[in-house]
Amino acid sequence: SMYYRDYDKGGKINAAILEKFRKDDVMGIFQYEGGTTRQVVRDVQPDNFDELAACGALSRPGPFYGGQTEDYIAVKRGEKDWKRIHPEGFDRHVEWTYGQIVYQEQIMWILRDLAGFDTARVLKVRKIIGKKLGEFQFAALWEEFRDGCAGNGISEEDALRVWGAITTAAGYAFNTAHAYSYALVAWWQMFFKINHVPEFFASSLAKNGDLEKNIPRRTSLLKD
């Protein structure tokens, strides 16, 4: 961020990059040229790098078909609001993603601050997430989560609401480093696509491959 502030003091380069993503000019852009991600970016219309990174995470099958992506977009557009649960234990951890759990770290922060899970417990949950063990493993932790939330004045109904979001997200959530690294590579590529056009397309075509399965993408790059 500091690099880009110093390099692009007027914000014109960054604005141009975001505009390219919003206009769906993403052919040849790492992780963002796939159909589902393109749809998510078109719907989200990212206003900053954080939202662009979230698009990559929200385009995965879990949030896309589970409703989280739809809710993220609706809240961003002002079409609905998100449920506040607890200012320190929940709200502050999801307000930057429009009330949705998008990343693994958000799950761990909520477990720690809303339910009072200690470090060992949080690390156990992280391992469950990392191994994609899903809802079955989480079921055994529900009562502990519910009781911890009660200690913070959270009703069982609200605790169950949050637990449902956590267990659903656990099956697909990216960690932030993963999503932001993908977005940064895509951001750099878009910079080259705007400012160094021959080099961008020459390198993209050179790396595309010549097998039959590579023909559709190569054709799209040539058309672009």
Model confidence pLDDT, tens digit, residues 100-117? 999 999 999 999 999 999
Give the residue carrying structure tokens 């339910």. 115
Q: How many CB atoms lie within 10 A of CB 96?
A: 12
Helix, strand, coil percentages in the chain from 3-state DSSP, rounded to 5: 70, 0, 30
CA distance 141 to 200: 49
pLDDT per residue as tens digits for the range 170-223 = 878 889 999 999 999 999 999 999 999 999 999 999 999 889 999 999 999 999
Q: What is the pLDDT of residue 222?
A: 96
Question: For the packed helices 68-77 and 35-44, what is the interaxial angle rounded to 10 degrees?
Answer: 30
CA distance 196 to 27: 15
CB-based contact 182:53 (threshold 8 Å):
yes
Q: What is the mean pLDDT of the chain?
A: 91
- Check: pTM over 0.85? Answer yes or no: yes
pLDDT per residue as tens digits for the range 132-185 = 666 677 777 899 999 999 999 999 999 999 998 988 888 788 899 999 999 999
